[in-house]
A and B are shown apart, each in its own frame.
Chain A
Amino acid sequence: MNPAPRMALVGSPNSGKTTLFNALTGLRAKTGNYPGVTVERKLGSVSTPSGPVDLLDLPGTYSLLPISEDEAVAVTVLRGELEGEDRPDAALVVADATSLERSLPLLAEVIGTGVPACLVLTMVDELKARGGSVDLFRLQRELGVPVVGVVGHRGVGIDDLRALMADVKKWRQPAEPPPFDTEGRFAWADRALAASARRQPAESERTRRLDRVLLHPLAGPAIFLAFITIFFQAIFTWAAPAMEAMESAFDALADGLLASAGDSLPMHLLADGVVRGVGGVLVFLPQIVLLFTVIFFLEACGYMARAAFVIDRLMGWVGLEGRCFIALLSSYACAVPGILATRSIPSPRDRLATILVAPLTTCSARLPVYALLITAFVPARPVLGPFTLQGLTLMGLYFLGATSALLFAALFKRGLLRGASMPFYLELPPYRFPSFMAVGVQVWRRVKLFLRRAGTVILAASVILWFLLNFPRTAAPAGASANEARQSVIENSLAADLGHAMEPVFAPLGFDWRIDIGLIGSFAAREVMVATLAQVYAYSGEDDDTAGLGIILRRTDPATGKPPLDLPGALALLVFFVYALQCVSTLAVMRRETGGWKWPVFAFGYMFVAAWSLAFAVHEVAARWLQ
């Protein structure tokens, strides 16, 4: 059997390319990286009347001149010059029908690569609604390639496109190639449009009205700030019921395992190491789903570009640009995609500065740690209207991370990364109501990544930590209670040795050796801190298994007469987590993106120094004023 034909999807950002890809392939896309470079590669399968076709989604580009890495990948794939990647049999060029004057020149470049091309016009419904038009039949004749109009999120025209994809051999191609130079390509596009009864659509009325408010000199920034405040408040309060339900479910499962199968060591590994360890991280799933849903929804609406537009001047002051803001915004989910998103920044210096500060923005892996400590130590006192002290503390931590990222970026740009910067440009797409499927697919990809991490890295870390905490086995002193016996195992464990070795460094911040064990765990992934502490304290706590980890942290330990963590120590720990780069995945992606260990080592160093000094300062101040 012949392998399925391979086609490439080419188009600019905002062209509706992703929506079209989803409409054609459904949820079955395989994602990965192109060999040798770090541009995301997405491959899906499309069923057509003649059988399946593999569809490769190339990175979004305005042109094929290889200025950025994304464009370089797109053009080398189309020319069949990328090692390990078969040359596509055909290319679908996606263009927004409402701004054809700008998107059509890309088609000329694709035709120039020699790959059979066709043009897919998206948003044809919006074109009509805004009073614009183009005669597809005449456009097809003028351009010399097949043309199909679609409405990606409604599925309109998708069957026509499938039929077209079924038989590339029938595609007509222009007798002579279009011009190659920029001016020539734009003129070629303008000529073809003029001959195709093209009427440019009126400005989108909805966009004009919304922007009059959302980009208003005063109202715009105010709405931006209000939105961020409500956003964080919502994540903290709306996700709470689902999280609590999951927490009790995992506790019940662990208790049930221990109660039914007896007090054996393997059963403890399963209940405490696996169920409680991994479960302690899985409970943050509702929060992560909510965060990504809001982020992707606003991105698809078109608001994220406005946010970059509003904030660009500020970014200019610290020597960065709006796109750096977008990369930093992605880092709120996770620094790894944030660092990958910096590839669209044309200036290498801006890009490096953004990579170095991206881990300072509050990634979702910190959220479990913040949630644990805030719930345990900050009272849920109402402050103003719907805002509580807890919500505002969380917002404060996000704010601290964001301003620190900007300050360090400014420092780097004025110091070791000084030099001329590249031009800034940003497109403001019309406001569009996103399809729920498109948002859902993106959220699902992130959730899958999180679940995979919970099932691998975090599971492995939990199991290793369980062994460190439980070995070597020491015999309990005669007449000791079950709880005292557990205490004695932990105190003589390998983990305790490690924690004690770290104590001189972290004692000034108010962390004891048990918290230090948590810090070791957090290096695999920050949220493992929670699982680790769950293991450390589930043993040393009272025989009251339903008590939450937060309550255990705050409650006075009868053995020492002190709580495991006091308020100054908890605040210091929060600040330490704002700054410290304890994340193996981030260091690995930094090494890959900067081509060596120099910059990840530098980043780890400066962030540890900042984390330790500021946590120390906070501990000193809090110990003096808050107790």
Chain B
Amino acid sequence: MSRNKKGADQAGDGLHLDDLPRLGRARVVGVAGTGPEVTRLRELGFVAGTEVSFARFAPMGDPMCVRLRGAELCVRAREARRIRIEPLPGAGGDA
């Protein structure tokens, strides 16, 4: 499901939340960009250091649901590509 992974709307290289289904678990690095929509994503808990884990895709493949900070949140692939993540230390690539 990680289509168009390195789209033009992304800031820099590295992993993004749409890679999470592959990783299983990861840690948030930050949200790219500015403006109210970015603020909103951060206020929802996507701040640096927060652990996220993949829960499921919606029946039609989008949005996806992730667990963070004790809650389940759904985001669309388009927003997921704005959230930078990094693998957890010591975790394999295909957990």
Q: Do A and B come from one complex?
A: yes
- Candidate in B56, B57, B82 with the most chain A CB atoms within 10 angstroms: B56
Q: Is the CB of A102 within 8 A of B37?
A: no
Kindly provide the distance from the CB of B5 to the nearest chain A CB, expressed in whole angstroms: 18
Q: Is the CB of B71 within 8 A of A316?
A: no
Residues facing B in A166-219 (CB within 8 A) are 182-183, 186-187, 200-201, 203, 211, 215-218
Residues of chain B contacted by A312 (CB below 8 angstroms):
58, 62-63, 74, 76
Kindly provide the distance from the CB of A134 to the nearest chain B CB, expressed in whole angstroms: 11
One of A255-263, A405-413, A424-432 at the interface: A424-432
Q: Is the CB of A98 within 8 A of B79?
A: no
Residues of chain B contacted by A62 (CB below 8 angstroms):
43-44
Total interface residues on A, using CB and 8 Å?
40
Also in contact, A215 and B39, with CB within 8 A (given A102-B68, A309-B65, A312-B63) = no
Residues of chain B contacted by A98 (CB below 8 angstroms):
70
Partner of B47, one of A186, A218, A313, A428: A186
Also in contact, A220 and B79, with CB within 8 A (given A99-B71, A101-B45, A426-B73) = no
Interface 0/1 of A444-460, CB less than 8 Å to B: 00000000000000000
Also in contact, A215 and B59, with CB within 8 A (given A186-B47, A425-B75) = yes
**A310 contacts partner chain B, Cβ-Cβ < 8 Å:** yes
**Nearest chain A residue, comparing its CB with the CB of B58:** A309
**Nearest chain A residue, comparing its CB with the CB of B56:** A215
**B93 contacts partner chain A, Cβ-Cβ < 8 Å:** no
Partner of A427, one of B40, B42, B60, B73: B73
- Candidate in B44, B62, B68, B76 with the most chain A CB atoms within 10 angstroms: B76
**Nearest chain A residue, comparing its CB with the CB of B63:** A312
**A221 contacts partner chain B, Cβ-Cβ < 8 Å:** yes
Kindly provide the distance from the CB of A212 to the nearest chain B CB, expressed in whole angstroms: 9
Kindly provide the distance from the CB of A422 to the nearest chain B CB, expressed in whole angstroms: 5
Also in contact, A423 and B45, with CB within 8 A (given A200-B70, A309-B58) = no
Residues facing A in B25-68 (CB within 8 A) are 36-37, 39-45, 47-50, 56-63, 65, 67-68
**A372 contacts partner chain B, Cβ-Cβ < 8 Å:** no
Residues of chain A contacted by B37 (CB below 8 angstroms):
346, 422-423
Instruction: Give Cα distance in the complex from A220 to B75, angstroms.
Output: 18
Number of A-B contacts (CB under 8 A): 110
**B6 contacts partner chain A, Cβ-Cβ < 8 Å:** no
Interface 0/1 of A56-72, CB less than 8 Å to B: 00000011010100000
Residues of chain A contacted by B59 (CB below 8 angstroms):
215-218, 220-221, 310, 313
**A494 contacts partner chain B, Cβ-Cβ < 8 Å:** no
**Nearest chain B residue, comparing its CB with the CB of A182:** B42
Also in contact, A102 and B63, with CB within 8 A (given A65-B43, A186-B47, A425-B75) = no
Partner of A424, one of B36, B57, B63, B68: B63
Instruction: Give Cα distance in the complex from A326 to B52, angstroms.
Output: 26
Total interface residues on B, using CB and 8 Å?
35
Also in contact, A186 and B50, with CB within 8 A (given A99-B70, A218-B59) = yes
Instruction: Give Cα distance in the complex from A203 to B55, angstroms.
Output: 11
- Candidate in B40, B63, B65, B70 with the most chain A CB atoms within 10 angstroms: B70
Q: Is the CB of B63 within 8 A of A313?
A: yes
**A371 contacts partner chain B, Cβ-Cβ < 8 Å:** no
Q: Is the CB of B69 within 8 A of A309?
A: no
Kindly provide the distance from the CB of A169 to the nearest chain B CB, expressed in whole angstroms: 32
Kindly provide the distance from the CB of A612 to the nearest chain B CB, expressed in whole angstroms: 36
Q: Is the CB of B58 within 8 A of A346?
A: no
**A378 contacts partner chain B, Cβ-Cβ < 8 Å:** no
Partner of B65, one of A102, A201, A203, A428: A428
Kindly provide the distance from the CB of A128 to the nearest chain B CB, expressed in whole angstroms: 14
Q: Is the CB of B70 within 8 A of A424?
A: no
Q: Is the CB of B58 within 8 A of A310?
A: yes
- Candidate in B43, B61, B62, B79 with the most chain A CB atoms within 10 angstroms: B43
**Nearest chain A residue, comparing its CB with the CB of B76:** A424
Kindly provide the distance from the CB of A124 to the nearest chain B CB, expressed in whole angstroms: 14
**A551 contacts partner chain B, Cβ-Cβ < 8 Å:** no
Interface 0/1 of A388-410, CB less than 8 Å to B: 00000000000000000000000
Also in contact, A423 and B40, with CB within 8 A (given A102-B69, A183-B48, A309-B58) = yes
**B78 contacts partner chain A, Cβ-Cβ < 8 Å:** yes
Also in contact, A346 and B40, with CB within 8 A (given A215-B56, A309-B58, A424-B76) = yes
Q: Is the CB of B39 within 8 A of A182?
A: yes
**A27 contacts partner chain B, Cβ-Cβ < 8 Å:** no
**A100 contacts partner chain B, Cβ-Cβ < 8 Å:** yes
Q: Is the CB of B72 within 8 A of A102?
A: no
Q: Is the CB of B69 within 8 A of A101?
A: yes
Q: Is the CB of B63 within 8 A of A67?
A: no
Residues of chain B contacted by A215 (CB below 8 angstroms):
56, 58-59
Kindly provide the distance from the CB of A315 to the nearest chain B CB, expressed in whole angstroms: 10
Residues of chain B contacted by A99 (CB below 8 angstroms):
69-71
Residues of chain B contacted by A183 (CB below 8 angstroms):
42, 47-48
Kindly provide the distance from the CB of A210 to the nearest chain B CB, expressed in whole angstroms: 12
Q: Is the CB of A346 within 8 A of B65?
A: no
**Nearest chain A residue, comparing its CB with the CB of B65:** A428
**Nearest chain B residue, comparing its CB with the CB of A71:** B43
**Nearest chain B residue, comparing its CB with the CB of A310:** B59
Q: Is the CB of A428 within 8 A of B72?
A: yes
Q: Is the CB of B72 within 8 A of A63?
A: no
**Nearest chain A residue, comparing its CB with the CB of B42:** A182
Partner of A425, one of B40, B56, B60: B40
Kindly provide the distance from the CB of B78 to the nearest chain A CB, expressed in whole angstroms: 7
Instruction: Give Cα distance in the complex from A211 to B58, angstroms.
Output: 11
Kindly provide the distance from the CB of A184 to the nearest chain B CB, expressed in whole angstroms: 9
Kindly provide the distance from the CB of B64 to the nearest chain A CB, expressed in whole angstroms: 10
**Nearest chain B residue, comparing its CB with the CB of A222:** B59
Partner of B41, one of A65, A217, A310, A423: A423
Partner of A67, one of B39, B61, B73, B75: B39
Residues of chain A contacted by B67 (CB below 8 angstroms):
203
Given contacts A312-B62, A313-B63, A428-B72, 18 further A-B contacts (CB under 8 A): A62-B44, A65-B43, A67-B39, A67-B40, A100-B70, A102-B45, A182-B39, A187-B49, A211-B56, A310-B58, A310-B59, A312-B63, A314-B60, A423-B41, A423-B75, A425-B40, A426-B63, A427-B72
14 contacts between A and B (CB under 8 A): A62-B44, A98-B70, A99-B70, A102-B68, A203-B67, A215-B58, A216-B59, A309-B74, A312-B58, A313-B59, A313-B61, A427-B71, A428-B65, A428-B72
Top 7 A-B residue pairs of the complex, sorted by shortest distance between their CB atoms: A99-B70, A101-B69, A313-B60, A102-B69, A428-B72, A63-B43, A426-B74
